[in-house]
Copies of this chain bind each other. A is one copy, B any other.
Amino acid sequence: MPLFPELENLGAAMDFIDGIYEVVEHIPLFGGFSYPDIERLSAYMECFGAPAGTALLEEGQDGDWLILLLTGSIEVVKKDEQGVARPIAIAGPGSTVGEMSLIDGRKRNASCITLEPTDFAVLTRSALNSMLAGHSDLCARLLLVLLTEMTSRLRAANERLMPHIGIAAV
């Protein structure tokens, strides 16, 4: 089944290299990526355009892809224990969401809803595996970016768990 059949498919990310480079060159995490690197990376991604109010990820749903926001913005929303959707973050161009399901194949932890018209690039697990086989150097450097992002989130989660120590993650 195609990804996001109801959205405008902007085509291969290769067609958006300038736009993608413009976004990621401002992200310190991607500091080591040259224009040719982004070109090679784009060969493994596909781009879409969504109107405001579109769910790019849905909490509890399957999906093993990661999203890199190119334009626009999203709200990250998670249901509380009573099942009421609660906004927990806002993210804009250059942000990635969906890493956890890309890595472990488990269900989405939260929903991501566009706040305005938003273009984004998608990296699936299958494309990541192809990159590992075809451009392992590029793949390793991308995985280091994701690990840095995950480490930052885990440190933030641990901070928040401090008052409940004894249950902190390590």
Instruction: Write the residues of chain A forming the contact surface with B, with a CB cutoff of 8 angstroms.
Output: 76, 78-81, 86, 88-89, 97, 99-100, 103-104, 106, 109-110, 132, 136-137, 139-141, 143-144, 146-148, 150-158, 160-170
How far apart are A63's CB and chain B's nearest CB, in angstroms?
14
Q: Which 4 A-B pairs have the closest CB atoms?
A: A157-B157, A143-B143, A140-B140, A136-B137
Q: How far is it, in angstroms, between the C-alpha of A164 and the C-alpha of B164 when the chains are bound?
A: 11
B88 x A170 contact (CB < 8 A): yes
B166 x A86 contact (CB < 8 A): yes
Q: How far is it, in angstroms, between the C-alpha of A151 and the C-alpha of B150 when the chains are bound?
A: 7
A170 x B132 contact (CB < 8 A): no
Q: Which residue of B lies closest to A107 (CB)?
A: B155
Interface residue from B76, B146, B157, B163 paired with A147 (Cβ < 8 Å): B146
Q: Chain B CB within 10 Å — which of A99, A109, A156 has the most?
A: A109
Interface residue from B78, B151, B164, B166 paired with A100 (Cβ < 8 Å): B151
Q: Which residues of B contact A141 (CB under 8 A)?
A: 132
Q: How far is it, in angstroms, between the C-alpha of A169 and the C-alpha of B74 when the chains are bound?
A: 15
CB<8 Å pairs between A and B, sample of 27: A80-B162, A80-B166, A81-B163, A88-B166, A88-B167, A88-B168, A88-B170, A99-B151, A100-B155, A103-B151, A104-B152, A132-B140, A132-B144, A136-B137, A136-B139, A136-B140, A140-B140, A143-B144, A147-B147, A150-B154, A153-B154, A157-B158, A157-B169, A160-B161, A160-B167, A160-B169, A161-B161
Interface residue from B79, B106, B151, B168 paired with A104 (Cβ < 8 Å): B151
